Structure 1
Amino acid sequence: MTSIAPQQVAPTTRQLAPLRRGSVRGLVVLTLLLVLAGLVSLAVGSRPISLGTVVDVLVHPDGSDASTIVHDLRIPRTILAIAVGISLGIAGALMQGHTRNPLADPGLLGVEAGAAFAVVIGIYVFHVQDLTGYAWFSLAGAGLAAAAVFAIGSTKGGPDPISLVLAGTAVSALLAALTQTVILRDVDTLDAYRFWAVGSVSGRGMDVFWEVLPFMVVGLVLAVLSASTLNLLQLGDDVAVSLGMHPMRHKAIGVLGVMLLTGAATAACGPVGFVGLVVPHVARHFAGVDYRWVIPYSGFIGGLLVVLADVVGRVVVRPGELQVGIVMALVGGPVFIYLVRRTRMVRI
């Protein structure tokens, strides 16, 4: 009996292991799903267009109404939705990995609160009225807020995960209070701000995408550099130091990546919640705990989730639309509760 038990356990372990390990095949599947979701996004709207027509006008633009709708309206919002989803998904994985906190969210760095406050100042003081102006103020505010959190939450040895979360919470609360103070004093500022604050990819042109793209690219590069070191950091700083690493340096790189990715995404379409919180859990469910797989999985799943949320928002209240930020709040909340309640939820 003693010799039979190990033989029964071993096959079960070998069978379950592939389910918790990322693979190139999994990334290929996610890529195909993302392409399919993008095509659906180009087809669905107040004026539905068949997938065949979408493919035809993509290959041969003919100046027809369908071609104009696809190229001028739906391609920019689809590309932006994918970019925002990828950025927020990867930022969430980095944030949870560096803080070793499964409930951490990129917004804990104060990025979203800083972006919102800067946009309000841009509207109230500088009378900014266009989305491009919102993007630059948002990006600047996100950077300054994250820098303040980073400075407050760092010790002599560098950024401390617990201190960063506490500092981010405090700074976010302060900036949120200042934002509410300004918009309550001026009705015109409130009217302009609320359309940005709801979180939407509609109405944005490719000019907004090109302006935030460099920040997203740099953030992605920093995320790639952090992937392999995050696995060692999960063992604790003492173990990482004994293996020749510099934990604080790598944490600084990771936090900078979170700041750039979240700041660029927020600048492009306003605050979109739950993506950075939920997506890393889904990624770990399929890819395991190896961050060399978790980070790319989080990017693809995040892009897929935001695109689908945008499509759902166009369908549920026709002929109107629900902004992607509202859809994510309606969908992300129950999904996250389900993930938390699962007895076998993947843990960091």
Structure 2
Amino acid sequence: MEQIRKQELNKEETKKRILKRFHSRSAAAFFLIGVLVLFGTMTFSISYGAADIDWSIIREAILHFDDQNTDHLILYDLRFPRVIAAALVGSFLAISGVIMQGLTRNPLASPSIMGVSSGAGFMVAVAFALFPQTSQGGLIIWAFLGAGLGAGLVFSIGLVSKRGLTPVKLALGGAAVSALLQSASTMLAMYFNVNRDISFWYAGGIAGVSLASVRLAAIVAVVGFVFSIGLSRPLTLMSLGDEVAKGLGQRLGVIRTVGILVVLLLTGTAVSISGTIGFIGLVIPHITKKLIGMDYRWIIPFSAIFGAWLLVTADIVARVINPPYETPVGALTALIGVPFFLILARRDGRGWK
């Protein structure tokens, strides 16, 4: 009896130690700074374009919208939806990467590498080819199903492998599945003559995002963020290993199921809006952990801010590089993500065999 009591006390002490706030005031202040920087970047993105718009006009459009004012119409029809979509998509992909890495304890886990983004893009291509009148809400459903397809194909590789899905096999399996699904999408595009729409989706970009898409994404954001924050405590405990998490009362099967559903929802929504933008879900979680630590109660909200800022900034750069033409945002994030991937592979490769 005494031994059982000691074990329970040890569990409680371990739980308190793991979940103890690490410099909570500093983290809160840092988070507020991050929000302000994101807001400033979004404001600059809104004001910058083929026709520069002053902050006073932006404020007037928000407070006193005039449908006869050309600048107001540009803001509401084009720039507000675009910058909000960029922030939401960036945060969706970053949070998805955090959850995937937390569930699998795999440093290479991300929507783009694990076939989730490619699967979502493939099913969007199917929708374009077979059901061209599909609404934005319908595209989100198709992308959600495709994200599940891509992830399922990659994880099935681990089921037939003797040593399971190691990080190396994850990267190779994800690359193979992504190539397969992208090839299938290209074949559909050529056969049904929808090359233009599908090529935009695979290039990645947020130009021309509609206000209806932003409204749907905002609803998904509320649901996804709530469940993500709910997963933060279990993910922190799981980072110490399954046995420790079980000993502290975590139901790992339920946690993994909810986490996978959240990832599929967020990634599917992101792909249905912006196409396949890669590497945000890989890069941002690692940067956040370096800056914040291993408490997922902070990692998840900080990753959302950093991911949103990265994509809003990339969208600005995409418009600056070669005006009046736009560079695909997916190409810019790849320029950041590929070197980071190689550095990560070189640093951690010894432990992957």
Where does structure 2 lack aligned partners over 5 or more consecutive residues?
Answer: 1-20, 349-353
Deviation at 1:54, TM superposition (A): 2.4
Partner of 1:113 in structure 2? 118
Residue deviations 1:59-106, cap 9 Å, x none?
A: 332332221211211000111111111111111111111111122112
| CA distance 1:320–1:114, change in 2 (3 Å) | same
Deviation at 1:122, TM superposition (A): 2.1
Partner of 2:7 in structure 1? none
Deviation at 1:327, TM superposition (A): 2.1
The answer to whether the aligner puts 1:51 opposite 2:55 as a matched pair is yes
| CA distance 1:252–1:168, change in 2 (3 Å) | farther
Partner of 2:104 in structure 1? 99
| CA distance 1:335–1:60, change in 2 (3 Å) | farther
**Amino acid aligned to 1:110:** G
Deviation at 1:223, TM superposition (A): 1.1
Partner of 1:182 in structure 2? 188
Residues 21, 287 of structure 1: 8 Å contact kept: no
The farther-off stretch of 292-301 and 236-245 is 236-245
Please give the secondary structure, in 1, of the residue aligned with 2:109.
coil
Deviation at 1:214, TM superposition (A): 3.3
Residues 200, 324 of structure 1: 8 Å contact kept: yes
- Choose which of 224, 228, 234 in structure 1 pairs with 2:229: 224
Deviation at 1:109, TM superposition (A): 4.2
1:1-348 equivalences in 2 (<5 Å): 23-62=27-66, 63-128=68-133, 134-146=139-151, 162=166, 165=170, 171-185=177-191, 188-334=193-339
Deviation at 1:169, TM superposition (A): 5.7
**Amino acid aligned to 1:93:** V
Counterparts of 1:129 and 1:253 in 2: how far apart (Å)? 28
**Amino acid aligned to 2:83:** T
TM-score by length of 2: 0.80
Residues 21, 286 of structure 1: 8 Å contact kept: no
**Amino acid aligned to 2:257:** A
Counterparts of 1:25 and 1:245 in 2: how far apart (Å)? 31
State percent identity of aligned pairs: 36
The farther-off stretch of 107-116 and 74-83 is 107-116
Counterparts of 1:169 and 1:216 in 2: how far apart (Å)? 28
| CA distance 1:332–1:50, change in 2 (3 Å) | farther
Number of aligned residue pairs: give it.
322
Please give the secondary structure, in 2, of the residue aligned with 1:309.
helix
TM-score by length of 1: 0.81
Please give the secondary structure, in 1, of the residue aligned with 2:194.
helix
Please give the secondary structure, in 1, of the residue aligned with 2:112.
helix
Residues 149, 167 of structure 1: 8 Å contact kept: yes
The farther-off stretch of 239-248 and 84-93 is 239-248
Deviation at 1:278, TM superposition (A): 0.6
The farther-off stretch of 31-40 and 192-201 is 192-201
Please give the secondary structure, in 2, of the residue aligned with 1:23.
helix
Residues 19, 286 of structure 1: 8 Å contact kept: no
Residue deviations 1:276-333, cap 9 Å, x none?
A: 0111112112211111111111000001111111111111111121232222223333
Residues 216, 264 of structure 1: 8 Å contact kept: no
Q: CA RMSD in A?
A: 3.2
Residues 143, 271 of structure 2: 8 Å contact kept: yes
Residues 274, 332 of structure 1: 8 Å contact kept: yes
Counterparts of 1:167 and 1:246 in 2: how far apart (Å)? 28
| CA distance 1:332–1:51, change in 2 (3 Å) | farther
**Amino acid aligned to 1:54:** I
Where does structure 1 lack aligned partners over 5 or more consecutive residues?
Answer: 1-16, 344-348
Deviation at 1:268, TM superposition (A): 1.2
The farther-off stretch of 51-60 and 286-295 is 51-60
Counterparts of 2:156 and 2:340 in 1: how far apart (Å)? 34
The farther-off stretch of 107-116 and 220-229 is 107-116
The farther-off stretch of 261-270 and 122-131 is 122-131
Partner of 2:12 in structure 1? none
Residues 143, 260 of structure 1: 8 Å contact kept: no
Deviation at 1:249, TM superposition (A): 2.1
